[in-house]
Amino acid sequence: MRRVVITGMGTINPLGNNVETFWNNIKENKNGLSYIKDLKNVKVADDFEIKIVGAVKDFDCSEYIDKKEIKRIDRFTQFAIVSSMEALKMSGSDFKNIDPFRAGVIIGCGIGGLELTQQEHSKYLEKGPNRVSVFYVPMMIANMAAGTVSMKTGFKGDNFATVTACSSATHAIGEAFRKVKDGYLDICLCGGTESCITEFALGGFNNMKALSKSDDINRASIPFDKERNGFVLGEGCGILLLEEYEHAVSRGATIYAEISGYGATCDAYHMTSPAPDGEAASMAMSLACKEAGVAPEQVDYINAHGTSTSLNDKYETNAIKLVLGEEAAAKVKINSTKSMIGHLLGAAGAVEAIATVLQVKNSLIHKTLGYKIYDEECDLDYCVDGNVEQEVNVALTNSLGFGGHNATLCIKKVK
């Protein structure tokens, strides 16, 4: 049985443009959300209902991408390149000395280059089809993050993009885990990236009643709170370097945690609503635990999908109770990283996986931010009173995507 460990991580998200800053801000319970009116690249009418997003701040990719190249690479791919290079740096190796076909790149993305699509569509309407950029298609397509990272690293093994809405990144990590565990790869850069805070996306998500209309940053993304009224649209990227355990040990790598289980299911129920009974989501958690060789009641902590939408938080709570049982569910610590950064769509699962790894390694479970009002239908321990210092030996992290996609990772402390 090949073990799979995490030896490097990189992230760009509303709480920081590297892992260290991200973790420091998590520990300090900082809120990474922004007002749309303060963004330079998004223009909406003053009376537009949505006021708050989870935007990346002060992003600079010049260390890894030159000025000419930047113009030919969409922002979501830029995020992936920088985060991948940071993950390699953390790992202590560029892996140039291994067989390149034993190194893979699997990066999920929910939407791809939506901002570019919006720009090029406007150009098409104003000036005609001949003025659409020759770079539009290769910049926009969702697989280009994975493809471009392979060009930067020279990794020639498995290379693809998972596109399963809000579960994209967790599926990417899960598939990478299986590739390493089953012997097809020795290392794999994996995760998710997304950059679609645009007028077009805000309009679409708002019209389907998915977004929070709060104008208070501290009461916009409030998972499990009775007054939750929608998620906050975010952007960012998370990349993890997965490595076969003996391979990592042989080169003296620092091991941050172990991925030991992965579960993937589908609700087969509704385009946007999770299933009320939580059966399929609970099965994803159960499968992850089974593969990891742990009983569900041994789970110390769950990083919930926790979107701050009425249905998701209620039904995810049901799913947790179903898989753990009422008694164990009442004791397990649960939180939502989305309370600090919003919902990063196709990148959410990877950024939350990084947050989970950091909490496992540091024996600290972060607070769920913004919570004030108890909901009888969300009656578990969501860590609403502050950070919890506690040994975390077994953790789950959940992602539940539009289309009914469910994915769970089981992450263990390595002692």
- Asked if 145 and 193 count as a contact pair (C-beta separation under 8 A), the reply is yes
Q: Identify the pLDDT of residue 380.
A: 98
**H helices present in 182-297, as ranges:** 199-207, 245-250, 279-292
Q: Identify the pLDDT of residue 176.
A: 98
pLDDT band at 415 (very low <50, low <70, confident <90, very high): confident
Q: Identify the pLDDT of residue 337.
A: 98
Residue 414 lies in a domain: no
Mean pLDDT to the nearest integer, 254-271: 96
Residue 239 lies in a domain: yes
Task: Say whether both 225 and 266 belong to one domain.
Answer: no
Residue 165 lies in a domain: yes
pLDDT in tens, 334-363: 999 999 999 999 999 999 999 999 999 999
- Looking at the annotation, which residues are catalytic? 166, 305, 343
Distance in angstroms (rounded) separating the CA atoms of residues 312 and 105: 30
Task: Say whether both 243 and 330 belong to one domain.
Answer: no
Q: Identify the pLDDT of residue 41.
A: 87
Name the DSSP class of 275.
P
Question: Would the pLDDT of 117 be above 90?
Answer: yes
Task: Say whether both 176 and 316 belong to one domain.
Answer: no
Residue 142 lies in a domain: yes
Name the DSSP class of 108.
E
Dihedral angle over CA of 156, 162, 168, 169, nearest 10 = -10
Task: Say whether both 217 and 196 belong to one domain.
Answer: yes
Strands 103-108 and 159-160: parallel
Q: What tokens does 298 get?
A: 């041994």
- Quote the pTM value: 0.97
Q: Identify the pLDDT of residue 127.
A: 96
Q: Identify the pLDDT of residue 272.
A: 87
Residue 200 lies in a domain: yes
pLDDT in tens, 228-256: 999 999 999 999 999 999 999 999 999 99
pLDDT band at 195 (very low <50, low <70, confident <90, very high): very high
Task: Say whether both 225 and 158 belong to one domain.
Answer: yes
- The residue from 250, 271, 295 where one domain ends is 250
Instruction: State what percent of residues in the chain have pLDDT above 90.
Output: 96
- The residue from 228, 250, 272 where one domain ends is 250
Instruction: State what percent of residues in the chain have pLDDT above 70.
Output: 100
Q: Identify the pLDDT of residue 52.
A: 98
Number of independent structural domains in the chain: 2
Residue 136 lies in a domain: yes
Task: Say whether both 340 and 305 belong to one domain.
Answer: yes
Rounded to a whole number of angstroms, the CA Rg of the chain reads: 20
Element (H, E) at 78: helix 75-91
Distance in angstroms (rounded) separating the CA atoms of residues 243 and 176: 10
Q: What tokens does 113 get?
A: 């280059």
Q: Identify the pLDDT of residue 74.
A: 97
- Asked if 8 and 241 count as a contact pair (C-beta separation under 8 A), the reply is yes
170 to each of 62, 86, 263, 318, 334, how far by Cα in Å? 28, 19, 10, 21, 18
Distance in angstroms (rounded) separating the CA atoms of residues 306 and 320: 12
Check which CATH number belongs to the domain holding 175 and give it.
3.40.47.10
pLDDT in tens, 63-102: 999 999 999 999 999 999 999 999 999 999 999 999 999 9
Question: Would the pLDDT of 265 be above 90?
Answer: yes
Q: How high is the mean pLDDT of the chain?
A: 97
Longest dimension (CA), the chain: 64
Task: Say whether both 207 and 105 belong to one domain.
Answer: yes
pLDDT in tens, 8-24: 999 999 999 999 999 99
Residue 381 lies in a domain: yes
Name the DSSP class of 82.
H
Task: Say whether both 181 and 271 belong to one domain.
Answer: no
- The residue from 197, 225, 250 where one domain ends is 250
Range of the domain at 268: 259-404
Task: Say whether both 377 and 358 belong to one domain.
Answer: yes
Residues contacting 276, CB < 8 A, separation 6+: 311, 315, 318
Residue 409 lies in a domain: no
Question: Would the pLDDT of 296 be above 90?
Answer: yes
Q: Identify the pLDDT of residue 186.
A: 98
